[in-house]
Amino acid sequence: MLRKTFFLTVLLALVMTACGAPQSTPIVAPVLTEEPSVAITLTDGLGRPIILNEAAQRVVSLAPSNTEILFAVGAGEQVIGRDEFSDYPEEAQAIPSVGGSMGEYSVETIVSLNPDLVLAAEINSPELVKQLEDLGLTVYYLKNPTSFEELYVNLEIVAQLTGENPVKLTDSLKARVDAVDEKIAPLSARPSVFYEIDATDPAKPYTYGPGTFGDLLITRAGGFNIGGELTDPYPQISLEQIVVSNPSFILLGDSMWGVTSDAVLTRPGWETIEAVKSNQILPIDDNLISRPGPRLVDGLEQLAKLLHPDLFQ
């Protein structure tokens, strides 16, 4: 971090005129003319019309997903500021930070960078968007996608805002998703999955519920997400619920914070769970699942390989 649009290209036309005349008349030198830039007008995820006179060349990103999208569409060199958590790709880490820890951004730093576009996401509050707008900045609020199709639209939007062409990227991502779908489609049985986001309280860890990309990706990868039967998008699930669901796999999205499969094996009350008994407790990079950018396709591929390794040898 909305909505649907098509990629526009700003055209520069070279108009050359040469006047034919008798031999005694000198030939007029070609005249170089330039058509005016075509303004970019889009409606953002807050329903606001956003107008750029030309493609943005100085962009501040306020979310890791936005930063990854900007680099993926080819606009990485136009990013002059990024939030504290934008750590991918590696070169993004060299870009000045504008904060973002605990939701606190340095508005002064953002303004001092003199951006012609600030790219916000759903993790940013509408109040922050208004504050930046009131300071004279152009802010586009990119809404989170709820499907791969909406992800492709987001890539097209950011590409249009920055004057890039996303066709190669989106075609490649679509082909990779189709390749996973082709392998998963014939499956009749789907293993049950518990995805752990945060087990600070191991008796009631957080997981992905319905309507989240975590739920979508697990399902698309040929699994059954036990959190998908709950009501909240990011619920805490009790040990009793996990035991009753008896998942075949436990995926540790919190492995990036140091949680290991060995630690899960020793949790009191977890020993009856099928995934624990068969030691199907697997780490996964949660950034591939939680950041609504192009690496969601990487997350889909990794999930599919973890749940169905025999199909992806």
**Contact by Cβ (8 Å): 208, 225:** yes
Going by pLDDT thresholds of 50, 70 and 90, the confidence category of residue 36 is: low
pLDDT for 14: 27
* CATH class label, 40-165: alpha beta
Reported as a single tens digit per residue, the pLDDT across 125-163 is 999 999 999 999 999 999 999 999 999 999 999 999 999
Question: Running DSSP on this structure, what letter comes out for residue 150?
Answer: H
Confidence bin at 209 (pLDDT 50/70/90): very high
Q: How many residues does the chain have?
A: 313
Whether the pLDDT of residue 313 is over 90: the answer is no
Lay out the sheet containing 139-142: strands in order across.
79-82, 59-61, 117-121, 139-142
Which residue in this structure is represented by tokens 């997981």? 207
Give me the pLDDT at residue 24, please: 42
40-165 with 186-312: one CATH topology?
A: yes
Quote the pLDDT of residue 15: 28
The two tokens of residue 54 are: 């030309």
Long-range contacts of 294-297 (CB under 8 A, 24+ apart): 294/68, 294/69, 294/72, 294/151, 294/155, 294/169, 294/173, 295/68, 295/88, 296/148, 296/151, 296/213, 296/217, 297/148, 297/173, 297/176, 297/177
Res. 305: pLDDT tops 90: yes
What's the average model confidence in pLDDT over 243-268?
Answer: 95
Q: How far apart are CA 234 and CA 209, in angstroms?
A: 5
Give the pLDDT mean for 88-114. 96
Q: What is the pLDDT of residue 5?
A: 32
Determine whether 78 is exposed, middle or buried from the number of CB atoms within 10 Å of its CB (0-12, 13-18, 19+). Answer: buried
The whole-angstrom separation of Cα 17 and Cα 128 is: 51
pTM: 0.86
pLDDT of 35:
52
- Give the pLDDT of residue 103: 83
Find, among 59, 63, 64, the residue nearest to 76 by Cα.
59
Band the pLDDT of 88: cuts 50, 70, 90. very high
As a whole number, the mean pLDDT across the chain is 89
Q: Regarding the domain delimited by 186-312, which CATH topology (the fold level of the hierarchy) does it fall under? A: Rossmann fold (3.40.50)
pLDDT exceeds cutoff 70 at 27? no
- Sequence-distant (≥ 6) Cβ neighbours of residue 309 within 8 angstroms: none
| Residue-by-residue DSSP string for 275-291 | HHHTT-EEE--THHHHS
Is residue 11 pLDDT above 80, yes or no?
no
Alpha-carbon distance 90 to 113, whole Å? 21
- Residue among 176, 205, 128, 163 at smallest CA distance from 55: 163
pLDDT surpasses 50 at 41: yes
Average pLDDT over residues 113-129: 97
d(CA 197, CA 253): 5
| pLDDT above 80 (res 4) | no
Residue 37 pLDDT: 65
Rounded-to-integer distance, Cα 37 and Cα 39, Å: 6
Residue 50 has pLDDT above 90, yes or no: yes
Q: Where do the structural domains in the chain lie, given as residue ranges?
A: 40-165, 186-312
Q: Return the SS3 of 238.
A: coil
What is the percentage of the chain residues whose pLDDT exceeds 70? 88
Q: To the nearest 10°, the Cα dihedral for 125, 131, 132, 134?
A: 140
- Least confidently predicted of 151-155, 202-206, 297-301, 309-313: 309-313
Q: Is residue 60 within 8 Å of 109, Cβ to Cβ?
A: no
Q: Is residue 287 predicted with pLDDT exceeding 80?
A: yes
